[in-house]
Amino acid sequence: MLFTRIWMGIVGPQEREPGYAVVVGEVYDGDIRQKARRKIVLDEGQALDPQDFDEETRKRHYDLLYCDLEGEDGELQQVRKVDLPTLDDLRVAMVTLKDLYHVNLGYTPPNNAVFYQHMRSTEGLTHYSPDYDDGQLAHWYPCFRHSDATATLTDNPPFGDDEEYGRQLIESLLARDELHVNEQCRLFRNRSLSAPIRAVGLVCSAMQMMDWTHQIREWRDQDGYEDHRGDENEEQTVREAQAREIEARLWHAGMPVVPPRDYILSMEHAPLWN
């Protein structure tokens, strides 16, 4: 399946809900008309779930998945962190989701500078420490790819944090069969929670506002290639449009255009294939 973009939405703790991160992809269907395109809620997280990893990974990253608590009988009891998530666990989940789905752009709600800066300072998400090589980093992060695989984070979504609009947009997309939800996204399916709706709403509204149709057409008109679903030039076309989108969004947000275009277009660093 080919995606035009795969982005992340992140919201902080609110009342009794811990922080939440979600990954949403927009499907490219080969149609260059200016039209709505199907989106998929690919994955989500508040903390890493041990069930998502094999035994070897669980042993290697035990401290990211479990904590040991002393019971009344003095024996240590293994507790899954996903059952008692904190912001530290959310950071680890964000990095892992970024690596699994090759996310290159993430949105947080505006007007919460403390949360935004805390998330933006997460090593493995927006940057890696230059003091450690990829071999060392691979031991720290369960799904590590390489130290250039980072994401840009912004707290300037198109509609701010209009939760009611986000909810209405999601309901409309679901009713039109233009938003699909993967089976493992149980938190999003729990309608008593507000964080998943906010996070998915941030991403879907941003994708709606950032239309890449005209860039696709311009590239094809200039190049003269026929519309070929499996042609490698089509993949490059989508990647060019993705690069322009991200650059324009960062410019409007008053942020530097990082990563540079050649990084965004790199098949290794930002693939569109899931």
Signed CA dihedral, 222, 224, 228, 232: sign only: negative
Average pLDDT over residues 117-124: 95
What is the helix (H) or strand (E) element at residue 4, kind and residue range? Answer: strand 3-11
Give the rounded distance of the alpha carbon of 61 from its chain centre. 22
Residue 240 has pLDDT above 80, yes or no: no
- What pLDDT does 74 receive? 80
Closest CA to 36 of 26, 44, 22, 45: 26
Measure the CA–CA gap between 102 and 146, rounded to whole angstroms: 11
The dihedrals phi and psi of 245, each to the nearest 5 degrees, come to: -60, -50
Q: Return the higher-pLDDT residue of 47 and 267.
A: 47
Measure the CA–CA gap between 264 and 260, rounded to whole angstroms: 6
What is the helix (H) or strand (E) element at residue 57, kind and residue range? Answer: helix 55-60
Residue pLDDT, tens place only, 149-163: 999 999 999 888 788
Most trustworthy range by pLDDT among 71-80, 153-162, 200-209:
200-209
Among 24-28, 98-102, 156-160, 193-197, whose mean pLDDT is lowest?
Answer: 156-160
- What pLDDT does 28 receive? 81
CB 122 within 8 A of CB 91: yes
- What pLDDT does 247 receive? 59
Q: Please state, for a pLDDT cut of 70, what percent of the chain lies above it.
A: 77
What confidence tier does 72 reach under pLDDT thresholds 50, 70, 90?
confident
Among 1-15, 24-38, 185-199, 246-260, whose mean pLDDT is lowest?
Answer: 246-260
Domain boundary assignment for the chain? 3-47+90-210, 48-84
Measure the CA–CA gap between 193 and 181, rounded to whole angstroms: 16
Residue 21 has pLDDT above 50, yes or no: yes
CB 233 within 8 A of CB 223: yes
CB 37 within 8 A of CB 177: no
- What pLDDT does 56 receive? 94
Mapped onto helix, strand or coil, the DSSP state of residue 132 is coil
CB 274 within 8 A of CB 6: yes
- What pLDDT does 111 receive? 87
What confidence tier does 223 reach under pLDDT thresholds 50, 70, 90?
very low
Beta-carbon count within 10 A of 147 CB: 17
Question: Which fold, 3-47+90-210?
Answer: Nucleotidyltransferase; domain 5 (3.30.420)
Residue pLDDT, tens place only, 134-152: 999 999 999 999 999 999 9
CB 112 within 8 A of CB 157: no
CB 215 within 8 A of CB 241: yes
Residue 186 has pLDDT above 50, yes or no: yes
Closest CA to 130 of 117, 114, 147: 147
Beta-carbon count within 10 A of 96 CB: 25
When the pLDDT of each residue in the chain is averaged and rounded to a whole number, the result is 83
Q: Please state, for a pLDDT cut of 90, what percent of the chain lies above it.
A: 62
Q: Please, what is the Cα angle at 191 between 187 and 196, to 5 degrees? A: 45
Most trustworthy range by pLDDT among 201-210, 233-242, 245-254:
201-210
Q: Return the higher-pLDDT residue of 17 and 263.
A: 17
What confidence tier does 114 reach under pLDDT thresholds 50, 70, 90?
very high
Three-class DSSP labels, 69-129: EECCCCCEEEEEHHHCCCHHHHHHHHHHHHHHHCCCEEECCCCCHHHHHHHHCCECCCECC
CB 6 within 8 A of CB 102: yes
- What pLDDT does 235 receive? 58
